[in-house]
A and B are shown apart, each in its own frame.
Chain A
Amino acid sequence: MASLLNEPVAPAEHLNGMARQSALLILPAAFLALAVGAPLMSDYVLEIGFRLLLLITLAEAWNLMAGYGGLVSLGTASFVGIGAYALTGLVNKAGLPLALAIPGGGLAGALLAVLVSRAVFRLRGLYFTVGTLALAEALRMFMVNYGGLGGASGLFLSQDPPGLRDMYLIALAILAVTTAVMTIATRSRFSILLRTVRDDEDAAAQIGVRPFRIKLIAFVLASFLMGMAGALQGLKVGAVEPYGMFGIQWTVNVLSIVIIGGQGLRAGPVVGAVFVVALSELLADYPALHLAITGLILILVIRFAPQGLVGLVQSRRGARRGAE
């Protein structure tokens, strides 16, 4: 057993070091290329690109909570919906410009997170998951039944949404913000505290970590990002209604993306989103088959690659490195 403990440097640490260096150069370059390339893209590419960027933003935010914080939420739809409704309200009633209304959607998401945190953090593990699902359903039912916000038929945005190319660029900008937030949150000492809470909340408290506070920070950050993504979606559609904006499909899509890509891994959401969007494009003409295949892939990934596709590649690479 002694030789097991004398390994000089764990492979994971090694990989981290390389990833750290490359991220500083490659990430900004990638964003720049995606922005500069926008004028060359066809409408189809922009459409797919927008969807991809939006889903990656949501998946990154969800990954911060579930992958790094152990807070597996089924309430994604609440924050998307709140963001979309907030944007509509801020534009229609207050006449705010988009540059303020979109972050306003994010703030609405963050505010909702603060409001419900006392209640949902009383629940742990699976109970938290079920609690967030209940929250999402309750909000949707409220929106359907409450006439003041348009009820079941929803509201129209009073101004025309920007063109497709602009929407794509806005989505890219929001993803850039998300990436910056995620990079800071997962590289800093905050990530260490967040992971202690994920691994063992009681033991974390016993070394002075305040679990409520740490979870709240992650929850508010993630909800802010989700709210912005929701605002963007509301802007794109030009109208909001409860079934679409508070629909469970947001929750399910984001969850599948992160699980297929790899929970708690930085590259997981990107890889997962590309995979899921590509699959939905390939099977666009067979919607029933698409659902069945996505379900099958989820089962296979959970069974054979619990760390997702990214985790699978990493462990393969680690194994090869070990064999050398």
Chain B
Amino acid sequence: MSNVLIQAEGLVKRYGGVVATDDVSLNLARGEVMGVIGPNGAGKSTLIGLLGGALVPSHGRITFDGEDVTALPASERARRGIGRTYQIPRPFLDMTVRENLLAARFSLHPFDSGAKARAACDDILERCGLADAAHLRGRDLPLLRRKRLEVARALALKPKLLLLDEVGAGLVDSEVTELIDLVKSLRGEVDGVIIIEHVLRVVRECCGRLLVMNFGKKFAEGATAEVMASDDVAAVYLGTAHGGAKSEGDSRVAAVPVKAAAAHGKAIAGLVAKTDTAADGKTPPVLELRGVHAGYGQARVLNGIDLRVQAGQVVAILGTNGAGKTTLSHVVSGTIKPTAGKMLVDGVEITGSPAHQISRLGLAQCMEGRRIFAPLTVEENLLLPARDVPTAQRDERLERVYALFPDLKQRRFNGGTSMSGGQQQMLAIGRALMSRPRLVLFDEISLGLAPIMMDRLYEALTELRAAGLTMLIVEQDVERALELADEVHVMEHGQFALSGSAKAIREDPRLRHLYIGTAD
């Protein structure tokens, strides 16, 4: 038995004219945990697809455990011990969580005793923190629990090689710690692990070796510490997350000639509708929630939320997964009706209004998961919210969005979902701005993005703030949210456990306790 677990030579994958991975080779020794990092759209997920067998390479060869598996379909590779997760989870929606895992056991060992299979599955569910969800249908799990299910299902195969595709995205620190512990605990059972991840802590603590991809090619490879310290890698990927380079972003902004910057700012200001302020100075808040309760069926998620967003203010909502942040944003956008309490816009009660009426009032939203319309081009996606606007104005807004995100202009005729994750997020933000809103709700815009891409998106948000846009930000990334926001609320168990100015919250020891949990 050789020491090489999987070896890929010269992998090329073309989609029509587009080359997703270009001549990538890699070697994974037994017992090794390797990380694959790189900007969104660098071809990382394509690489996982090629190794797992979901995609057929245009060129190249894959040897697993001493056997050439290039021509084998995904099912045969899985049976030989390659387990993978999907970046966007694909649970079997109408089956229970336990059945999702049992399927893997039964397909491999059709004649094993049922009790044994169930015990093995329950053991894995326990380790992945899903024991309490064994009876729920896949459909009923929220996104982050579906990610756990992806890992659990891959483990149910008892794989020799585990391919993890961004399972850490969206986790708070304590959950990241859990994930790291889980990966480390697999050492004895799984011969090798390949991790694609933007959460750098996972990469740093789990992986011995890193492979950096950029534009479909191998950009760098080496020991984790070396790669993370490399200036080249920082330039294409790490951005300000690269140690000590925090001021770099600021200096880049300052480098823009003052005159051009002013014109740029003016262009962006045109995307923001001003709220009329009353003469007596007692303007009602743009958005106000009074004692809002909401939930799904039996489950109560929000337990009395009071929230005021004044014109021009940036309010951030922080909190652990499951605290109710997404439910809150659904209430604000009108997709969930509150069971009690009131919602007011400009002091007028609109509780229970459908989503399209709320958006008419000047509230736009940038939803979690982007929700780009795949059959439409970038420009068509952008034009959707501005359907009723006269052409001249519409084109003007379009130009302003393009000024904010030049990447989108270059790709205006491309399919909306053909772009990288970061560009899609730009599109989602741009689309929210096209209705010339007064308030935009940004829900988890940094989820699953490369650090350098987060920098660029938050630069754009900073510009929007300067232009006077009122923002409600639901965010996982505490640091970035605190930098941008005027006022911050930290949620716990469907309530605001901590509220105050960004400065006060930053210094409040309870933040660490509430949000970061027991980590570090």
Contact = CB atoms under 8 A, between A and B. Distances in A.
A4, A7, A202, A322 — most chain B CB neighbours (10 Å):
A4
Contacts of B52: 206
Nearest to B145: A5
Interface stretch (A44-52, A189-197, A238-246, A278-286): A189-197
Contacts of B137: 10, 12
Interface in A171-206: 189, 192-193, 195-196, 198-200, 202-206
A3 B132 contact: no
Interface residues of B, number: 55
Interface in B214-241: none
B103 A207 contact: yes
Contacts of B74: 202, 205-206
A5 B107 contact: no
A126 to B, nearest CB: 16
Contacts of B141: 5
Contacts of A205: 53-54, 73-75, 78
Contact of B322 (A1, A196, A204): A1
Nearest to A3: B299
A22 interface: no
B132 A322 contact: no
B108 A10 contact: no
B270 interface: no
A97 interface: no
B492 to A, nearest CB: 11
A206 B135 contact: no
A322 B297 contact: yes
A195 B75 contact: no
A211 B76 CA distance: 11
B142 A204 contact: no
Nearest to A200: B90
Nearest to A189: B106
B161 to A, nearest CB: 13
Given A208-B75, A210-B75, A1 B103 contact: no
A217 to B, nearest CB: 12
A40 to B, nearest CB: 43
B296 A4 contact: yes
A202 B90 contact: yes
A195 B296 CA distance: 26
Contacts of A209: 75, 103-104, 107
Given A4-B299, A203-B86, A208 B133 contact: no
Contacts of A43: none
B173 to A, nearest CB: 19
A13 B137 CA distance: 10
B142 A1 contact: yes
A9 interface: yes
A10 B93 CA distance: 15
A18 to B, nearest CB: 16
Q: How large is the interface on A (under 10, 10 to 19, 20 to 34, 35 or more residues)?
A: 20 to 34
A196 B92 contact: yes
B32 interface: no
A207 B135 contact: no
B457 interface: no
A199 B153 CA distance: 15
Tell me the interface secondary structure of chain A in the complex: helix
Nearest to B106: A189
B106 A193 contact: yes
B78 A207 contact: yes
B370 to A, nearest CB: 21
Contacts of B322: 1-2
Nearest to A323: B298
Interface string B120-141: 0000000000001101111011
A9 to B, nearest CB: 6
A21 interface: no
A259 to B, nearest CB: 17
Contacts of A200: 90, 92-93
B49 to A, nearest CB: 10
Interface in A1-34: 1-7, 9-10, 12-13
B114 A189 contact: yes
Nearest to A264: B94
A9 B322 CA distance: 20
A198 B298 CA distance: 29
Interface in A107-132: none
B176 interface: no
A22 B73 CA distance: 42
B301 A196 contact: no
A207 B156 contact: yes
A203 B86 CA distance: 8
A208 B78 contact: yes
Contacts of A196: 92, 95, 100, 103
A195 B95 contact: yes
Contact of A192 (B83, B90, B95, B327): B95
Given A205-B73, A206-B54, A1 B301 contact: yes
A13 to B, nearest CB: 6
B320 to A, nearest CB: 10
B66 interface: no
A70 to B, nearest CB: 10
Nearest to B100: A196
A192 B110 CA distance: 11
Nearest to B327: A1
A17 to B, nearest CB: 12
A2, A199, A200, A206 — most chain B CB neighbours (10 Å):
A206
Contact of B94 (A13, A193, A195): A195
Contacts of A322: 297-298
B179 interface: no
B324 interface: yes
B487 interface: no
Contacts of B86: 203, 206
B379 interface: no
A206 B100 CA distance: 12
A204 B140 contact: no
Given A5-B132, A192-B102, A192-B103, A203 B92 contact: yes
Interface string B183-197: 000000000000000
Interface in B3-36: none
Given A5-B133, A203-B92, A322-B297, A192 B99 contact: yes
A204, A208, A210, A322 — most chain B CB neighbours (10 Å):
A208
B19 to A, nearest CB: 22
3 tightest CB-CB pairs across the interface, nearest first? Answer: A4-B299, A199-B92, A208-B78
5 contacts: A189-B106, A193-B107, A198-B94, A207-B83, A208-B107
Given A207-B153, A208-B79, A208-B104, 4 more contacts: A13-B96, A192-B106, A195-B103, A196-B95
